[in-house]
Structure 1
Amino acid sequence: MESLENRLHRCAINTATLGHREPLDVTLDRIARAGFGGVAPWRHEVEAIGASAVARQLRALQLTVSGYCRSTYLTGATNAERRASIDNNIKALHDAAEVDARCFVMVVGGVSAGSRDLAGARTQVEEGIAQLLAEARKLRIALAIEPLHPMYAADRSVVNTIGQALALCEAIAPDDPSILGIAIDIYHCWWDPLLSESIVDAGRARRILAYHVSDWLADTKDMLMDRGMMGDGVVDLKHFRHRMEEAGYDGMVEVELFSRDRWWKVQPDELLSVCAQRLQLVC
């Protein structure tokens, strides 16, 4: 495994890391000036400016879009809700294609409000992803299922392990790893006793589309908004990048850091500098 030292062109910044405090055009300029090779923008930021304008700026700055964030939840209490989600996601896929994203990140949704049907929610997810495949193929945008920590199963995602995500991929698109794969966010997956084996399996199936890093704080205060800066928590990030690259992943290392009360209060250029240092030292 090669060090990331002096290799920031292999690294990307998810714009949530900067707290969505500035317009996207300003954020993209900052990320490029800081030396990063990639960015993962969020839909609301792109839609505020327009995908065509964002695409022009990305080309001018020579930034790769490591992923486009993110899908509308696929679970819902009614057929109308689920159909609206599919339509919304198809619109987002067109923007993902416009900005030449390497993948469209799928956060699939939790158990519907008022329901206790976990198995039914997972069926809705499988059906929803299957409905998006034709458009994804037409646009040549890969769908990347992102497993979330099980603490999010109720409200954000009923897909909680790489193993689950891989099983979905094989069930929905068994012969097409180029169009359906997995975004591995170490914050969500580090705890899994089968993580190393699952990474190997996903790599063997050629399903790994993205790799996100932050850290898990031992005294985390908020399950969404208190991620740790790389090196401040308990995750062996170099070990897991080694596992990823052994499994064949050669894409970008993307920082995705939700930190409302700590890092989102740091001046953006300073925050990008810390991200650069930590990527090179501990990732």
Structure 2
Amino acid sequence: MSLSLNQKTINRASLAEAVDACARAGIEAIGVWREPLADVGVERGAKLVRDAGLRVSSLCRGGFLTGDDRDAALDENRRAIDEAAALGTSTLVLVVGGLPPGSRDLAAARERVADGVAALAPYAAAAGVRLALEPMHPIYCADRGVLSTLDQALDLALRFPAAQVGVVVDTFHVWWDPRVEAAIARAGDRIAAYQVCDWILPLPPDALLARGLPGDGYIDFRTLGAAVARAGYRGDVEVEVFHADVWAAPFDQVVSEVVHRYAEHVAPTG
């Protein structure tokens, strides 16, 4: 496993700026987000990454399959699949979506997710892209992700071939789960992406911006990383941080700190 910078960690950066920052720091992979990719266009974005000698560890994000307009959601996800294929990554991260407006029916929302994944999986497979279901911490269940545990994500992924649907292990979302190590072992070759950041306190008013750099909080990255390695994962490790102070800092300063924190807290030691 080796370090990848998820582009969201330097959120103000354009794709060109993020690619350049990675290249200057000697980081060989980047997790790309669709919005800055759209700013330059998929063809030019793919060329920027290639010309810098980087690989794309994942594309973020597809998903949001729980809304009322199913056809629009599926069309948007097909576009995301096409973008992932054009970038040369086999991993499209899916943030599956929260409860529809006015709904309290979690079971129905989860079935909408399953229905959407079933509709998209063959299209993704034909493009050489795997849908990576990201379970999210329960604080995001209402608005972002009705899959709250790795086991829940796996239960859905296992309905499909492993090459079509996998899961994301994101330390921020799964570290609290008493079954997390068992679930990681169960995931095995279903692990499509491994993302790391820390759980910090106090939580900011906007809980979406509660992710710290590794070492700033409470997560045991060595234990989780060892479990992911035992499960057979050999892909990139994306550092993905959502925090206002991190986003406000100079790009090279953040990237340098990411490299340092990865080596100190995350990288395999043996």
Deviation at 1:220, TM superposition (A): 2.1
Residue 62 of structure 1 aligns to a residue whose secondary structure is: coil
> Which of 24, 27, 31 is 1:33 aligned to?
24
Which letter does structure 2 place at the counterpart of 1:23?
Answer: S
> Which of 100, 123, 135 is 1:135 aligned to?
123
Residue 224 of structure 1 aligns to a residue whose secondary structure is: helix
Which letter does structure 2 place at the counterpart of 1:202?
Answer: A
Deviation at 1:58, TM superposition (A): 1.3
Deviation at 1:177, TM superposition (A): 0.6
Q: Counterparts of 2:84 and 2:60 in 1: how far apart (Å)?
A: 9
Q: What is the aligned partner in structure 2 of residue 69 from structure 1?
A: 60
Q: Is 2:266 aligned against 1:266?
A: no
Q: Is 2:76 aligned against 1:88?
A: yes
Residue 142 of structure 2 aligns to a residue whose secondary structure is: coil
Q: Counterparts of 1:60 and 1:207 in 2: how far apart (Å)?
A: 30
Which letter does structure 1 place at the counterpart of 2:25?
Answer: A
Q: Counterparts of 2:248 and 2:36 in 1: how far apart (Å)?
A: 20
Q: What is the aligned partner in structure 2 of residue 7 from structure 1?
A: none
Task: Determine if contact 2:122/2:164 at 8 Å carries over to the other structure.
Answer: no
**Deviations, residues 61-85 of structure 1 (Å, cap 9, x unaligned):** 1211111000140001x3xx11100
Q: Counterparts of 2:14 and 2:185 in 1: how far apart (Å)?
A: 39
> Which of 153, 156, 174 is 2:144 aligned to?
156
**Which runs of 5 or more structure 1 residues have no equivalent in the other structure?**
5-9
> Which of 166, 189, 195 is 1:212 aligned to?
195
Residue 45 of structure 2 aligns to a residue whose secondary structure is: helix
Deviation at 1:218, TM superposition (A): 3.1
**Deviations, residues 32-69 of structure 1 (Å, cap 9, x unaligned):** 21111111111111111111111112111121111100
Alpha-carbon RMSD across the aligned residues, in angstroms, is: 1.1
Structure with higher strand content: 2
Q: What is the aligned partner in structure 1 of residue 212 from structure 2?
A: 228
Of stretches 218-227 and 270-279 in structure 1, the one that deviates more from structure 2 is 218-227
Q: Counterparts of 1:241 and 1:22 in 2: how far apart (Å)?
A: 28
Which letter does structure 2 place at the counterpart of 1:218?
Answer: L
Identity of aligned residues (%): 38
**Deviations, residues 194-252 of structure 1 (Å, cap 9, x unaligned):** 0000000001xx10010000000132224211211100100011111011101111111
Q: Counterparts of 2:53 and 2:102 in 1: how far apart (Å)?
A: 46
Q: Structure 2 matches for 1:1-283, cutoff 5 A? A: 10-19=2-11, 21-76=12-67, 78=68, 81-171=69-159, 173=160, 176-203=161-188, 206-221=189-204, 222-260=206-244, 262-283=245-266
Residue 230 of structure 1 aligns to a residue whose secondary structure is: coil
Q: Counterparts of 1:276 and 1:16 in 2: how far apart (Å)?
A: 15
TM-score between the two structures when normalised by the length of structure 1: 0.91
Of stretches 39-48 and 118-127 in structure 1, the one that deviates more from structure 2 is 39-48
Task: Determine if contact 2:91/2:131 at 8 Å carries over to the other structure.
Answer: yes
**Which runs of 5 or more structure 2 residues have no equivalent in the other structure?**
none
Task: Determine if contact 2:63/2:96 at 8 Å carries over to the other structure.
Answer: yes
Q: Counterparts of 1:185 and 1:163 in 2: how far apart (Å)?
A: 13
Residue 59 of structure 2 aligns to a residue whose secondary structure is: coil
Deviation at 1:109, TM superposition (A): 0.3
TM-score between the two structures when normalised by the length of structure 2: 0.96
